[in-house]
Structure 1
């Protein structure tokens, strides 16, 4: 028990031991070169060596207990050998540099995991549960059940996933989506555990609790991802298992042939593949941490590797390339006062429950039109045609071409041409006639995300070769959207299983395919692709099925994730090249006679610092390039 407690104490104070070792080394060199005290020099460096080698030896012993010959064992043996030949300065510098390298590695890993620490600290521990009599009880969050009514007040974190049933408020969902701006929520809207209620008071019904909440799954996902090894890491681990014993054998052979104990010890020290073992995991953890802080969840180093090799992006249309909400996308006006015509249309649509009417009202609001006070003296709904209204003494028709034909309102050839052009885009059409004359043609469609065109070009700039759309929508609409955003290939009117077939065909043709969808109805395609990417606010299916989750549902995040994967893999390759290059240089130097233990260990440990600092660059890796948003095809009515 005493030994176990001593091991824990030493390991928990490893940083302190590193500082003490460095201080003793400085004192030792001052003793020799400042005061000419050789005895003080040897004593302080010997003590520094002993202090620093203790945690290294403990790690070596723990590894041996599970039958692993680790790098720590090589260093421990090298220090013992240095003591035997009286090279206390060598042993002190070797152990200090080794501990300092371990300190920097741990510091880098901790820095990249700060986002996870922040998430766990923000997780609420209690909830205000409302009883049937209306009273509230402070309940441990683990005891909240699905269906419970929970009260959330201003400044509090939401304790469970739920749906608002009463009240409104502004929520900061940065821990979920990575987006810091507040979002307005009202009854019927979903909220996520971990989000903070910035203003307002709401009551919600719990839909997911505990570890099953989106928040809990995100924490688990990122933690697992940082422990998942890439192919490069797995290879290096296997390599180290054979390399470390090989170095021991080579050192023994060197001593047997040369009878030079110091040279054999030098082989042990310089043969430690420290930078090689550290380089790959530090790069992957830094890259995954970078993504997590931006609401990009990547499921491990292996996903990073595969994502970097993607050459074909396949997109769903609705909710991915488009907003998933209908909007007025085209306006043709044939009147001297188009704003009046639109105001009359909006006032009329207030008397309709047609889905297209909401799009008209939203558009009119964006145009800052005051239409609510216009008096409606008569209104009649004509099934299958539209509305016939009298508004402020204007005779108004709002509907389809049949409605206008029934009321003997004709279209001129140019107007007929405009109508056909809008219909050719796959848009729904509303015709508006005022006092017997066609005044407006409104094209309404699922609006294309304004940033998509520029961001798809950014994907091409980063190495994407093919952009494909697979959608269940009709061919005309799909072609129009593809033309707007720059998609190369379109396949429309597909069932989910047909999307899977197309992905398999692309894979058989040698393409590395990433499928981007909303993570709900596209689960089979997401699971089939080499990389499945879910653009959605953390739905259960999105998190469980996909390889990458973009919590912000933005194409900027998609471009950043793709660039980050490529940069992370490149960074890993750079670290491997540095590590292998240094080992070769040291071996050549040792054979040629211009590398000795002190200089060799300095170069060796410096290479460890180089790969760590190189990996740390990923933590600050890039903001998405500024891409101009493509304007929507709407006509201003001024």
Structure 2
């Protein structure tokens, strides 16, 4: 592809594609192509100008790789096209931006070119919808904002003040449009995130299960989905049974049991069990629409703060109407009485609240943080307890195998082959380490076992060549399964290095090998925990399945408030319930299958990069960056958001109350009150779109990129 460099600075470059009228689809292809490159930190493509703004890492080498990638790009490249999710927010943003511009342009041109009698006629026709809403509210015996709006519009028109009535309706329409935009964007972003999570699937054949690209699966094919895996395609269960968690789609964390004959939907997750699914629809046919429909029917994305603000506006309606009547009775002055009706608190609230949430979610996305609804930002700001899983969360997501200790006459290579064959079915950081080690050693581990059973937080069990094979923790393999250590080799167990995590492999009840996994703490972990304390978190805990000695050492090094070792999923769940019973608000940060119940139970579940599919799906917030400092940035964004909402709230109430007071005193005419009210509404809306993070925090972000 040909391109021109427009501007360049350290780690940033802006290029222009000499292409007239770039389509939204082409912009998405280029943007996702760039984002998929390991040396690209952030990429934004502007379809209207054909420009691309790119942040990259790696200095001169990174710049060279980026330019080569741009030269080798083609809009018709099928691999690049495949990187684009089923739906993106670009088209949605364009739709609402154009709608907003059209509304403003129509109003401006109407006021300039149309005669007064025609403008007034349009206002009368448009008012019918607002008046109908007010009457509907009254028919239910309620005095709501719709009633006040209808009264203000009607009285203004009766007083021949059509301009004021038109302005009120215009601002109400703007607020409704922005609220709709906020909600639809949240749903679209959530559905897109879900659509990106599955690229491979186990396809069932007559001989063995084969790992294939999800786009190769056709209707009628049979796929195998096991514990912790996302169901990638719609279909009917034909074998096995499973508990399916639909938390991200319905908001309900209670799993649904699926038996043969039952129908399952793409985007849900197998929490327990395994099943064979006969595919009904191939990838990209209806999945997004189903996800959107179910999410839109849930209450999951609504913010409590937004709800309270809107309820406040409703609660003020009786006082506004009463103030109108009392002022008229006392002054016999209709102009002063109308001051209460001309100032509508709901206009500014309906505009600023959705804009604040939309702006915050957008800003978080720039830091590789995907937020699945405004309510989770609110909860993040007020949480006083943060709980971390250890493996893959406080430690690196890519641990490595450092040693394989064999027992009896077992061979190291054969032990690793068996372990990799079992572990590849259940992606987790430790399992990934085993599979990666086999790959490094060029050890083939084709399917050679029967049905694989996964015991959450314990291990995996199967049969190989008629022999029972199990792999997992010491508790699962030795204590629960009663596997024995070959005679004379008991000392090997006692001398296992404590700085490593251990995977135990046993065949037919006899220990065959212990795989040592190096799982170092993240370099930034201690600083992140320190900063969380500074940001008002009073309790930072760690819940891990590791042994007591390892957990105690980590807790001391990180200055944790509390920790629990050798815990099961139900133990993590119980811990969070106890925190809730104590009146605390909890954030849970995890990445594994055993974190899923805790992520569902917490007020905010955060899944980190490269975690298990079920963790990412159930989580309310996902962090795709491999850096825990994003949690600190998330806390800052959410706290700044709540401060902004509080400031907007106080300003709107105080300013509009002042306008009412000036109107009642006869200082301001109703038309002037409406003008100042509308102006303040626009100002609060513009303020809501400004960045939440300060320049110093932007510097932190830039520093992170440079270090990377």
TM-score computed with the length of structure 1 as normaliser: 0.58
What's the counterpart of residue 515 of structure 1? 588
1:232-280, CA deviations, whole angstroms, 9 ceiling, x for partnerless residues? 3333333333422442333233333322222223321125542234433
Distance 1:626 1:427, change over 3 A: farther
Q: Which residue of 1 aligns with 2:669?
A: 596
2:222 to 147, 151, 159: 147
Report the Cα distance in structure 2 between the residues aligned to 1:320 and 1:539, rounded to whole angstroms.
12
Checking the alignment, whether the CA contact within 8 Å between 2:637 and 2:693 is kept in structure 1 is no
Q: 1:424, CA displacement in angstroms?
A: 5.3
* Per-residue deviation, 1:573: 1.5
Instruction: Identify the residue that residue 625 of structure 1 maps to in structure 2.
Output: 701
Q: How does 1:81-480 map to 2 (within 5 A)?
A: 81-86=155-160, 88=161, 91-96=162-167, 98-100=169-171, 102-103=173-174, 106-107=177-178, 110=181, 113-114=184-185, 117=188, 144-145=219-220, 147=222, 160=233, 219=292, 223=296, 228-288=301-361, 290-291=363-364, 296-323=369-396, 325-327=398-400, 353=416, 423=497, 425-426=499-500, 445-480=518-553
Partners of 1:557 and 1:117 in 2: CA distance: 22
User: Which secondary structure state, in structure 2, belongs to the residue aligned with residue 447 of structure 1?
Assistant: coil
- SS, match of residue 588 in structure 2: strand
CA–CA distance in structure 2, aligned partners of residues 51 and 14 of structure 1 = 19
Q: Distance in 1 between matches of 2:634 and 2:547?
A: 31
Q: Does the CA contact (< 8 Å) of 2:233 and 2:279 recur in 1?
A: yes
Instruction: Name the residue aligned to 2:597.
Output: 524
Matched, 1:586 2:672: no
> Does 1:22 pair with 2:108?
yes
Partner of 1:448: helix, strand, or coil? Answer: coil
**Gap regions ≥5 residues in structure 2:** 1-97, 207-213, 225-230, 236-264, 268-276, 404-410, 420-429, 442-487, 504-514
Which of 662, 665, 682 is residue 609 of structure 1 equivalent to? Answer: 682
| Alignment partner, residue 58 of structure 1 | 129
Instruction: Evaluate the alpha carbon distance shift between residue 14 and residue 61 of structure 1 in structure 2; reply closer, same or farther with a 3 A threshold.
Output: farther
Partner of 1:434: none
The corresponding residue for 2:454 is: none
2:244 maps to none
The question of whether the paired residues in 2 share the 8 Å contact of 1:299 and 1:548 is answered with yes
- Sort the Cα spacing of 1:209 and 1:573 in 2 relative to 1 into closer, same or farther, 3 A: farther
1:498 is aligned to 571
Secondary structure, aligned partner of 2:560 = coil
Q: 1:487 is paired with a residue of what secondary structure?
A: coil
Change in Cα spacing, 1:327 to 1:227, as seen in structure 2 (3 Å) is closer
How many angstroms apart in 1 are the aligned matches of 2:190 and 2:565? 41
SS at match of 1:581: helix
SS at the partner of 1:314?
strand
**Change over 3 Å in CA distance of 1:448–1:580 after alignment to 2:** same
Q: 1:119 Cα shift?
A: 7.9
Distance 1:571 1:15 in 2: 26
Contact 1:283–1:618 at 8 Å: present in 2 too?
no
Q: Contact 2:607/2:623 (CA < 8 Å) preserved in 1?
A: yes
CA contact (8 A) 2:593 2:615 kept: yes
Distance 2:280 2:590 in 1: 24
Show CA shifts across 1:585-605 (max 9, x none): 112212333222222112211
1:574 maps to which of 644, 647, 664: 647
Return the alpha-carbon distance in structure 2 between the equivalents of residues 588 and 72 of structure 1.
23
Q: SS where residue 647 of structure 2 aligns?
A: helix
Distance (whole Å) between structure 2 residues aligned to residue 494 and residue 227 of structure 1: 30
Partners of 1:47 and 1:234 in 2: CA distance: 38
Map Cα deviations across residues 358-382 of structure 1 (whole Å, 9 max, x no partner).
989989x99xx9xxxxxxxxxxxxx
Say if 2:175 and 2:350, in contact at 8 Å, map to a contact too: no
**In 2, Cα distance between the equivalents of 1:361 and 1:80?**
71
- How many Å separate the matches in 1 of 2:290 and 2:395? 27
Mapped partners of 2:278, 2:575: distance in 1: 41
CA offset digits 1:371-402 (Å, max 9, x no partner): xxxxxxxxxxxxxxxxxxxxxxxxxxxxxxx9
- Deviation track 1:106-157 (CA, whole Å, cap 9, x = no partner) reads 2575377457557879979xx9x99999xxxxx99998356269xxxxxxxx
CA pair 626-525 structure 1, distance change in 2 beyond 3 A: same
Contact 1:78 1:266 in 2 (8 A): no
TM-score, normalised with respect to structure 2: 0.53
State the distance in 2 between where 1:469 and 1:17 align.
52
| Preserved contact between residue 568 and residue 594 of structure 2 (Cα < 8 Å) | no
Tell me if the contact between 1:221 and 1:299 (Cα under 8 Å) persists in the aligned partners: no
Count of paired positions: 470
The corresponding residue for 2:18 is none
CA drift of 1:76 comes to: 4.8
SS at match of 2:396: strand
CA distance in 1, matches of 2:685, 2:650: 13
Q: Distance in 2 between matches of 1:145 and 1:244?
A: 58
* Residues 491 and 544 of structure 1: CA distance in aligned 2, closer, same or farther (over 3 Å): same
Kept in 2, the 8 Å contact 1:306–1:530? The answer is: yes
Q: Deviations over 1:438-464 (max 9, x none)?
A: xxxx99522333443443344334332
**Could you tell me whether the CA contact under 8 Å between 1:146 and 1:209 is conserved in 2?**
no
Rounded Cα–Cα distance in structure 1 between residues aligned with 2:638 and 2:100: 33
Larger radius of gyration: 1
Q: Is 1:563–2:636 an aligned residue pair?
A: yes
Determine helix, strand or coil for the equivalent of 1:590: helix
Structure 1 residues 16 and 282 mapped into 2: Cα distance closer, same or farther (>3 Å)? Answer: closer
Tell me the CA shift for residue 308 of structure 1: 1.5
Query: Following TM superposition, by how much is the alpha carbon of 1:618 offset from its aligned partner in structure 2, in angstroms?
Result: 5.9
* CA spacing shift, 1:145–1:584, aligned 2, 3 Å: farther
Deviation string, structure 1 residues 289-319 (Cα, Å, up to 9, x no partner): 5556766454544433332211221111122
> Does the aligned pair in 2 maintain the 1:21–1:49 contact within 8 Å?
no
Q: Answer yes or no: is the 8 Å Cα contact 2:590–2:606 preserved in 1.
A: yes
Report if the CA contact (8 A) 1:101-1:608 is conserved: no
Q: Is 1:542 aligned with 2:618?
A: no
Counterparts of 2:294 and 2:361 in 1: how far apart (Å)?
A: 11
- TM superposition shift of 1:492: 1.3
User: What secondary structure sits across from 2:520 in the alignment?
Assistant: strand
Say whether the 8 Å CA contact 2:345–2:652 is kept in structure 1: no
Query: What is the CA-CA distance between 1:159 and the residue it aligns to?
Result: 8.3
Deviation at 1:99, TM superposition (A): 0.6
Paired with 2:630 and 2:132, the residues of 1 have a C-alpha distance of: 45
Change (3 A) 1:318 1:506: same
Kept in 2, the 8 Å contact 1:349–1:361? The answer is: no
Where relative contact order (Cα < 8 A, 6+ residues apart) is larger, the structure is: 1
C-alpha spacing 1:316/1:84, structure 2 compared with 1 (3 Å): closer
